[in-house]
Amino acid sequence: MPTVRENIAYASEHFMLIYRSTLVRVARAVALLVAVALVLEVFVFNMNYFTSANYRTINLSDQLSLAKSEDGGYVLTDVDHVMEFWNLNTEVHNIELAFRADQPAQLVSVKIQFTDEAHQTYFDSTEYTMGVPLVDISTKVRASQYVNLQTAGRVENLRIEIAGEDAGAQVSYPIYLDGVYLNAHRPFAFNGWRFAGVLTILLVGYAFRPKSAIYRIRIVENPRKSKAGIIFTVAVEVALMATFLFYGSNLVGVATASYNYGSWDGTSLVNTFEVGGDNAQQYAELAKSMAEGKLYLEEEPPQWLKDMADPYDKGARDEAQKATGEPYLFDVAYHDGHYYVYFGVVPVLLFYLPFYLLTGANFPTAIGVLIMAVAFVLGATALLDRFARYHFRSVSLGVYLLLQIPLVACSGILYLVKFPTFYSLPIMCGLAFSVWGLYCWARSGLSRRRCGWLFAGSLCMALVAGCRPQLLVLSLLAFPLFWRTYITERRLLTAAGVREFACLAAPYLLVAGGIMAYNYARFGSLTDFGANYNLTVNDMTKRGMNVGRLAPAFFTYFLQPPCMTGVFPFLQAAPFDTTYMGQTIKEVTFGGIFACLPILWVLAFSKRILAMRARQRSTRTIMGVIMVLIGSGIIVALADAELAGILQRYYADFSFMFLAAAVLLCFVVNEQLFAARTGYDLMLKVLLVLACASVTYSLLLCFVPETGWYSNVYPWAYQGLLDSVLFWK
């Protein structure tokens, strides 16, 4: 009998015999791409090192009129923060502001002015010209302390000012400076993250090039290869998503000796801590109350709130708080003298209550968001794989991945990961339960244990009501998925059909019973979730429904083009105007999904594509699924606008529905063109462009600076990211 080592050796030899040429070809390509990335990092991204190598450095420190520090450096204060140099009469290629490394980290805006052969006086922005823009410099990021200047000949006079409040910046004085240098030699800096990012882009480009072998690997005909490719892609997606979430460390809520070390307890391997303020602890506080047998928060509302005739009027609340000096909890439900949490209760039961009972600590919300984001990626991938293998037999691994990656990246979950707060968690839970519920339903069709899969699917779909009730509209997919089996083929009239239908319906009844009991215990109503009692920016008890809010919401959510600038990350908040003469609840948004996600443009051809499907198959299941997805997406988006407002995180409520419909339409087109053997290559190229553009937009959105995110809390560190991209500065 052969040994384990002999078996492994035989398997390796057999594998190499078959795939040696392929592996050699791929290894050569990867080696070439690594070399290209290395050349780019060394010679292109470090271009300033080479261009400044022959500069003659001029030390201007002796001309500074600033006060000196004890160690011989210079001190910038709120009174004395301007440096001016006269009669230089020299060419100036760059300026180095050498800030001391051992001072507190901060980001300062610097205003630079100069006179040269084209300007005898300092120039600034006018109606027709743009002056020298402010430059942000981090006291901790050395690369940002070098500023390249574009002058017209020799510079005569130079003025450097810490812009401060005049530029809307917050500056903490004193600031310590080691010196000021002209034409400084830029240091060589090999950025590992930038190298890895560029290499990743090159590898992805190589893998998805039109002639790539992944377009010849059929999902059905090559199950091992296709599953290996899918698993590898999902692993990369999860790793990148986790890395991005932990990058926004101010919202994570976990600390170690080397991560968020300012909140580390000094003894534990990992400890949790509160982030986001009192308003962000609702779920954690509800878990503590539940452990004590209560459904309301333990914190007692102030007496003035209890005495108010209308506690839901924010203006009146703010006046009362100002008069008494007693604060109140914001964005919680207030009813009958107690604070309640109106967000879905399932995340509390799933994460917070067990964690609190086991550890006595608050569960870190960001970890819950990450767990459910991973669950969503796995569930969406499994669901897509199910449809590809059993409804579309001609899908290749390349086409599958060109659709799976936008489905994950453009569904809005990356924005939830960017802000992994308790606002994001119920949405993320609802999406994860939805895709797994749909997968279980799809799996039930060919399974011997149909009842088990139906029950599991319905349980997941029903739990959505305790997370994000809007997403319950996805349960309507049960009609196109099961109509033919149970109605057209009359299986519902059989004993087996009755049992299966009972398994399909029972979880909804069980979950509905639990949620109704929970609602009744809190508010005395089976159907009242408490959203109307929310202490928020408007009076929810009187918000009602108004058709005037629909048009601006439709434009913002669906049609508004992205607002772009010429500097990374290129996107900025889109402008918003409305003729609705009432209160509009609106946070920053970055464009409508049909304008920003080109992969959705395929929806414009839905009628023609569905007609193609009708000629392929006599059944109408896929057609019904697509119609329900599109209709549900429109309903949820407009309902969100009516009930709550226009917010960027709400895009995750409906983006998946449109993306899933677009994916199915692309599967139909792929099936038709592959069978016809005409137009298939053109389809691949068009799909590649649409997918790349959509994913690029979604990834750039991750790095847009926003209030409350890493860029706002640690702007000095975020500047390091910007300088890695803007390497020519």
- Which of 202-206, 410-414, 471-475, 488-492 comes out lowest in average pLDDT? 488-492
Tell me the domain boundaries of the chain.
Answer: 4-46+191-202, 58-189, 208-247+365-723, 253-359
| Greatest mean pLDDT among 12-16, 540-544, 608-612, 662-666 | 662-666
Encoded tokens for 392: 């579309």
Dump pLDDT digits (tens) for 187-243.
Answer: 999 999 999 999 999 999 999 998 899 999 999 998 888 999 999 999 999 999 999
Query: Which residues make Cβ contacts (< 8 Å) with residue 54, sequence separation at least 6?
Result: none
Dump pLDDT digits (tens) for 38-92.
Answer: 999 999 999 999 999 999 999 999 899 899 988 888 999 999 999 999 999 999 9
Encoded tokens for 383: 């669901």
Cα–Cα distance for residue pair 210/213, rounded to 1 Å = 9
Asked if residue 21 has pLDDT above 90, the reply is no
Dump pLDDT digits (tens) for 103-115.
Answer: 999 999 999 999 9
Q: Which CATH number fits domain 58-189: 2.60.120.280, 2.60.120.260, 2.60.40.10, 1.10.4080.10?
A: 2.60.120.260
pLDDT for the residue numbered 506: 96
Dump pLDDT digits (tens) for 238-271.
Answer: 999 999 999 999 999 999 999 998 899 889 899 9
pLDDT for the residue numbered 1: 56
Dump pLDDT digits (tens) for 393-429.
Answer: 889 999 999 999 999 999 999 999 999 999 999 999 9
Question: What is the mean pLDDT of the segment spanning 492-519?
Answer: 93
Residue-wise DSSP of 221-253: T-HHHHHHHHHHHHHHHHHHHHHHHHHSGGGT-
pLDDT for the residue numbered 544: 76
pLDDT for the residue numbered 419: 96
Asked if residue 15 has pLDDT above 60, the reply is no
pLDDT for the residue numbered 237: 97
Query: Which residues make Cβ contacts (< 8 Å) with residue 509, sequence separation at least 6?
Result: none
Output the CA torsion sign for 334, 335, 337, 341.
Answer: negative
Q: Predicted confidence band at 6 (pLDDT cuts at 50, 70, 90)?
A: low
Cα–Cα distance for residue pair 87/111, rounded to 1 Å = 19
